[in-house]
Structure 1
Amino acid sequence: MKTPPLTSLRAFEATARHLSFSEAGDELFVTHAAISHHVRRLEEWFESELFIRKGRSIALTRSGETLFRHLSPALAEIAETCTRVKALGGKQALTVGCIPSIASRWLVPNLQLFTAENPEVDLRVLYASENQKFSQSGIDVLITLGKEDADGVVSEQLFSRLTKPVCSPKFLAEHGPFDTPDAFISVPLLHDESRKGWRDWFAAAHAPWTGGDNWPVYQDFNLLFTAAIAGHGIALCPVDTFRNEIEAGDLIVLSDIATNTESYYFGTYSKNTPRAALNFVEWFVALANWTKTK
């Protein structure tokens, strides 16, 4: 056998947790002798002792400690998965990974529309990083930056990443106007993860980057735009993603000079994806396109 029997592994894990054959037997509803037998089978399989036996007390050996450290969370995950599958009944499981900016502004606010139309889907939404790859994610649909060209994978274009400087109406009234790139130099420039974005914007504006290194860097995209809406400075904004805030007047676009002009957000999924995942992608693509024409 490539792996030991699961029953023996469960017996070992319970024994290691309690450091008692009797208590492990009580938990698993078997006798002390049965637990001892399973542990012996494991020790024969590993060709190594897993417990140090001292009279009626036991302690883990180094091999036993290593096995227990990895086995206990693995068995807990198996139990959780089985419980979830059992609870599904006739439902279809669907896991969507989404970067925070799209999740907070588009996915979560509209998700009840999808769940109302697809009550048979058991949906889980997870945060994804901007550079995460679908083939390495273990999820059904990935919404993030960039198109993935791996075999057996489809990427549907969602939002443009065309990026322009924005600020709140209050900040514009107090510090504007911003008619030229030079006008941006003397005010707080808010950065997303690094200062490269503003350097790229000044390069696109054919203007020298002469400052801004002392202003805050926000690792989380949503924190950056909370700061911008609160009037703390000027942020670089993918205007398609934040078009609701722009249309509502919470953010003002300050210039037509843009970066990321050929960059997009994509929804990526397998060509052999379950129907629930395909339904979700079709719904989300339609949502992105419909809101562009409001």
Structure 2
Amino acid sequence: MNVDGFNLPPLIMLRAFEAVARMGSMRKAADDIGVSHTVVSRHVRNLEHWMGQKLVTATPRGVALTAAGETLFASVTRAFRIIDNTTAELRPASPRAGLRIWCMPGLATRWLTPRLSDIEAAMGSVEISLRAIDRLPDFAAHEADLMIGFGRFEDLPTGARRLILPRMFPVASPAWIASNGAPADLLALAQAPLIHEESRQQWTDWFEAMGTRLSAQLRGPRLWDANLGFDAALAGQGIALVTRLTAGSEIDDGRLVEILDSKVQLGGYYLLAAPQRQGDPMLTRFERWLEDNLPRE
């Protein structure tokens, strides 16, 4: 594409490439920009053809940038940031104040979304924008105002405030238990079909916290997303790790059943505000709502 002397590849290719480079995965990039992963993959291949060289390589955990890809990613990121900042300055101000919240997918879908009307009532005339995503926003690029993240409390991002350290425990549907029987102990649980997210690390950490060192690889599908794993457990596909925040109502109404007795905490939720909005009364009001409504186990 030649625009007034600029010999540029199609911007749709650059947008797909930037998302892949930033997210480290074709599927996550697809979720980020709202298209299928096959479309993202095709755009990246076409960009490589246009550039005449390889930009990304496949790895067991996603994709990695080549040296040429790193160079292009740095330039594209700077260009997109300039465009984003300029459009933010030129765009007419919204008649309503806004609060852009990024949140871990499981908590966003299972706990925050059913409470949106409560949040809006507490926040007054504030327009809430909620995005389910599992990476930190680029606050310098004005991607979000707040992030509700998840991690080990001893290793949180600078400026993060601890919210809640939930217990994490295994659950299965009554139908799955009726067909397979509830595991009687940790050894039986380790041999059952377990539902994993992106890797098997979370389950491995859980067993270690229970005092069990695994001698064989865990079974079960990897579904990459906490919500997919949750839905798979509801559908009787195996055993998933959950918290009361994400599965409380399903446990209370009998659609999921806790397996074994455990008191494991693998990390907690935290709140991180954009530096430019530190001390903003709107953010303080939302943080107070969280503190008042998050259950304490």
Classify the TM-score, shorter chain.
0.5 to 0.7
**Alpha-carbon contact 1:115-1:121 (below 8 Å) kept:** yes
Residue 149 of structure 1 and its aligned partner are, at CA, apart by: 6.4
Counterpart CA distance in 1 for 2:86 and 2:145 is 21
The residue aligned with 1:77 is: 84
TM-score under structure 2 length normalisation:
0.63
Larger Rg: 1
Counterpart CA distance in 1 for 2:247 and 2:117 is 20
Matched, 1:110 2:84: no
Residue 201 of structure 1 and its aligned partner are, at CA, apart by: 3.2
How many residue pairs get aligned? The number is: 225
Q: Deviations over 1:201-239 (max 9, x none)?
A: 333444452445442112111111111111001112233
Identify if the C-alpha distance between structure 1 residues 164 and 78 changes in structure 2 by more than 3 Å, giving closer, same or farther: closer
The residue aligned with 1:43 is: none
TM-score under structure 1 length normalisation:
0.63
Partner of 2:107: helix, strand, or coil?
helix
The residue aligned with 1:277 is: 283
Matched, 1:191 2:196: yes
Counterpart CA distance in 1 for 2:272 and 2:83 is 30
Q: Which amino acid aligns with 2:272?
A: T
**Alpha-carbon contact 1:166-1:235 (below 8 Å) kept:** yes
Residue 126 of structure 1 and its aligned partner are, at CA, apart by: 2.7
Residue 188 of structure 1 and its aligned partner are, at CA, apart by: 0.9
The residue aligned with 2:51 is: none
Matched, 1:260 2:265: yes
Identify if the C-alpha distance between structure 1 residues 212 and 137 changes in structure 2 by more than 3 Å, giving closer, same or farther: farther
Partner of 1:190: helix, strand, or coil?
coil
The residue aligned with 1:48 is: none
Residue 178 of structure 1 and its aligned partner are, at CA, apart by: 2.0
Partner of 1:281: helix, strand, or coil?
helix
The residue aligned with 1:99 is: 104
Partner of 2:254: helix, strand, or coil?
coil
Stretch of structure 1 that moved more, 241-250 or 274-283? 241-250
Matched, 1:160 2:165: yes
**Alpha-carbon contact 1:201-1:258 (below 8 Å) kept:** no
Q: Deviations over 1:24-79 (max 9, x none)?
A: xxxxxxxxxxxxxxxxxxxxxxxxxxxxxxxxxxxxxxxxxx9x988985675356
Counterpart CA distance in 2 for 1:15 and 1:286 is 56
Q: Deviations over 1:108-145 (max 9, x none)?
A: 11112222343421332233426x38877843221011
Matched, 1:126 2:119: no
The residue aligned with 2:293 is: 287
Partner of 2:241: helix, strand, or coil?
strand
Q: Which amino acid aligns with 1:237?
A: V
> Structure 2: where are the runs of 5+ without partners?
7-71
Partner of 2:237: helix, strand, or coil?
coil
Q: Deviations over 1:122-173 (max 9, x none)?
A: 332233426x3887784322101145463xx35141x333211111111111
CA RMSD of aligned residues (A): 3.6
**Alpha-carbon contact 1:188-1:212 (below 8 Å) kept:** no
Partner of 1:217: helix, strand, or coil?
coil
> Structure 1: where are the runs of 5+ without partners?
1-12, 18-65
**Alpha-carbon contact 2:170-2:239 (below 8 Å) kept:** yes
Residue 83 of structure 1 and its aligned partner are, at CA, apart by: 6.0
**Alpha-carbon contact 1:143-1:267 (below 8 Å) kept:** yes
Identify if the C-alpha distance between structure 1 residues 172 and 137 changes in structure 2 by more than 3 Å, giving closer, same or farther: farther
Counterpart mapping for 1:244-259 below 5 A: 244-259=249-264
